[in-house]
Amino acid sequence: MRFLLIEDNADLARSIRERLEMDGHAVDHAPSLGDAEDHLAVARYDLILLDITLPDGDGRTFLQRHRAAQADTPVIVLTARSAVSDRVDTLDLGADDYLTKPFDFAELEARCRAVLRRRGGAATTLRRYADLTFDPLGGFVTVAGENRDLRNRELRLLEVLLSAPGRILSKDQLNDRLFSLSEPVSDNAIEVYVARLRKKLEGSSARIETVRGLGYRLTGG
């Protein structure tokens, strides 16, 4: 996905950007509303991440202008303000969602997906591997054309495996992507989900291999 990140704090912006790029997203950073307008004039984005307190104005003003101009790029507000009311009025002004800083990247991704799914706007890129088809946004999977019903965690696990097929992913790597980093995770949690995913993908030529002592690997026949 292509993000426009409007955030004036340079450290935070760099960090968010690197973190999103690590997950394979493209990110343009605008440190002010003026820069944001420049970026929007020349490029199309799947999502805008908008800070409220900016050097050349209030993010809410941008939001109003953005909506008044009939621009349909979804906006997720990243607010650092507390006033309970801020959260309400950003939604009233046309934000698709908001997150309070600091936020969990897993939650940011979840919210981005939810917003894009709701908007139905962004063109989904179907991922294919062996006889698997995976729609990360719509969250459905087919095995040889046959629909399989996966829960959210199973979908995320499949997504992580699909992002690096053939490579060994450690339990830790999978844990980090699947579970909240601030909550304790039991050691065998990932084994449980791998077992479930294997069951859901039964009959597929793609298989999840256990590499003893190292982790898991997605292989396709």
Residues that bind other proteins (CB under 8 A): 9, 11-12, 15-16, 18-19, 22, 53, 78, 80-88, 91, 97, 100-107, 110-111, 113-114, 151-153, 170, 172-173, 176, 180-184
- Shortest gap between Cβ of 156 and other proteins (angstroms)? 8
- Shortest gap between Cβ of 105 and other proteins (angstroms)? 6
110 vs 164, which CB is nearer to other proteins?
Answer: 110
Amino acid at 68: A
CA atoms within 13 A on the CB side of 137: 15
d(CA 198, CA 14): 37
2 vs 117, which CB is nearer to other proteins?
Answer: 117
CA 48 distance to own-chain centroid: 13
* Run of H or E including 131: none
144 vs 181, which CB is nearer to other proteins?
Answer: 181
Pair 73, 48: CB distance under 8 Å:
yes
Amino acid at 95: A
- Shortest gap between Cβ of 221 and other proteins (angstroms)? 29
- Shortest gap between Cβ of 170 and other proteins (angstroms)? 8
d(CA 82, CA 144): 49
